[in-house]
Every structure is written in C-alpha cells, then in structure tokens.
Amino acid sequence: FTFDYKSSNPSPAGGLYCEFHAVTTAPAWYLGASSFPISGIAASLGTYDPNEVYLNYFVKADENLPNAGSQMILKAGPKSYKLLEDITWTGWKLISHKLSDFKSSTGDALHTTDISEVVLQLGSQPEATTELKVMYDFILLTSGGPLFKD
C-alpha cells in the first residue's frame, strides 16, 4: 500500500493531490487506509446539526483498474460512520454529502458534527480485486450547503 502526493493530471482544484495505490497477490475487498485528525472542528462550523454540514471532495480512480470505490469514514466518539460510492465515471468528480449520510455498521446516521478523524479507505467495489488506485483532492467541510449546487 502506498500513499503519495502527485501533481500530474490534477483535479480542478489544482496543485497536489493524494494517490492511494495497492497491489495484492489475492483478490481483496480492503487494500489499505490513511487518516487525519480534525478534533475541535465542530465549533468552527457554527452548527452541530449533521444535516447542515457537507463533506466535499474531488475523487477519481485509475480507469484501467476496475472495481474502485470511494470509501470515506468519519469517527465521532467511539463509533465510525462510513459512506461508500462506486467510482463509475472517468476523470475527476466533485462529491458532496451531508454528514448525516454517513452510517455506522448498525445503520445509525451520524448525529453530530463533532467528528475527530477522517479516514480515506482503499477498497474494491463491487468485486474484490488485486490492484486499486484512487485519488482524492480538496477535502473540505462546508456549513449550510454543498460547495457547489447543481
């Protein structure tokens, strides 16, 4: 599993982006992850309502490697809340989700903006695979609406 910053073919945000790449000998669903802490962010957002806060990010996958998915996890208290999305498009795409769209393993929706960590997970979907490459850029929380409206 490698995590690297790249500059070739950047997202619309420009500059560097992060690239996750993993190769295994047998097909797998989970190929690695990286995380970063964001403790104390809730006070800066102006609301504790997860229906009012959006996680926005650019994402793409290597078009030559099928079964890539965007797997984002938010940690709040002792629980983790996940959002999975099959990457079925070509090139960069801006994704925006309300924090309340993230669900725990028991199906409970994230109920607060007081999140402590963001996890970017490299996983295959809908089928297990031996190699994946997914790129993320410009991960941003917005309050009151998504970064851009359709």
pLDDT of the residue at 150 = 61
Question: pLDDT-derived band of residue 129, with 50, 70 and 90 as boundaries?
Answer: very high
DSSP state of 138: E
Q: What is the pTM of this model?
A: 0.90
Quick check: 118 pLDDT over 70?
Answer: yes
pLDDT of the residue at 76 = 95
Unique residue bearing structure tokens 């903006």: 113
pLDDT of the residue at 125 = 85
pLDDT tens per residue, range 78-112: 999 999 999 999 999 999 999 999 999 999 999 99
Task: Report whether 115 contacts 102 (CB < 8 A).
Answer: no
What is the spatial distance between Cα 8 and Cα 24, in angstroms, rounded to a whole number? 25
Residue type, 24: T
Residue 39 half-sphere exposure, CB side, CA atoms within 13 Å? 2
pLDDT of the residue at 148 = 82
β-partners of residue 23 are 131
Residue of 131, 20, 19 whose CA lies nearest to 67: 131
pLDDT tens per residue, range 15-64: 999 999 999 999 998 888 999 999 888 888 889 999 999 999 999 999 99
pLDDT of the residue at 130 = 93
What is the spatial distance between Cα 91 and Cα 137, in angstroms, rounded to a whole number? 12
Residue of 57, 18, 41, 15 whose CA lies nearest to 113: 41
